[in-house]
Amino acid sequence: MQPYIAAATLVLLIILVLSRVIMMRKLGISAFRFGEMDKKDFLIPPFALFLFYIVLADAFGFPEVGSKLFQNEIIRWAGAVFCILGILFFLYALISFGRSFRVGIDEEHPGKLVTTGVFAISRNPIYTAFGFILPGIFLTDPNWIILLYLIAGAWLLSRQVKREEASLIKIYGKEYEEYCRKVRRYL
């Protein structure tokens, strides 16, 4: 059951992001800005697809890549709970974003600074959601390759948060700096 929850989490993430991008496009907002500031970001999708395969292989019995580090039902259920919490936090972040949602950094048409909803408790709720989902996936499928993804993912998320925060200071100035003093980066 837990591998199905991990697989469903990844599928839901894609559906939620794509539906939000399409919804924003209908409002005349170009929300997909991925890779515009740093072309190296385009190296991420092939690795993400490989992660999807590993998770789907565990859930649906495809040939597996990598070996399990351990097997423990309680830990796998803990991972499933992390995945569920992460997807709920992600959904709350999408709702809180309103019209300011973007995939990537948009300095030309950023939308208003969002400080309400989940943004009142975390400056980076989408990345916080990933901070639940990635360990959750690892715990549901404790594969050594997924462990590498967890480590690389933590580094990539931190890198992206710092890039976005620098951009937000440039866009919103003192308003964003004041917000940073009131609300934590993650939780």
**If 0-12 CB within 10 Å is exposed, 13-18 middle and 19+ buried, where does residue 141 land?**
buried
**If 0-12 CB within 10 Å is exposed, 13-18 middle and 19+ buried, where does residue 3 land?**
buried
**Residue 22: how many CB atoms within 10 A of its CB?**
11
What's the predicted TM-score (pTM) here? 0.89
Give the pLDDT score at 94.
92
d(CA 107, CA 149): 29
Residue 84 · residue 73 · CB < 8 Å: no
d(CA 8, CA 11): 5
Give the pLDDT score at 28.
83
d(CA 30, CA 98): 14
Residue type, 26: K
Return per-residue pLDDT of the chain as tens, 187 residues: 999 999 999 999 999 989 988 888 888 877 776 666 666 777 788 889 999 999 999 999 999 998 999 999 999 999 999 999 999 999 999 999 887 777 776 677 777 889 999 999 999 999 999 999 999 999 999 999 999 999 999 999 999 899 889 999 999 999 999 999 999 999 8
**CATH number, domain 2-59+68-182, options 1.20.120.1630, 3.40.50.1100, 3.30.565.10, 2.70.240.10:** 1.20.120.1630
d(CA 110, CA 31): 9
Give the pLDDT score at 138.
97
Residues in a beta bridge with 35? none
Computed on alpha carbons and rounded to an integer, the radius of gyration of the chain in Å comes to 17
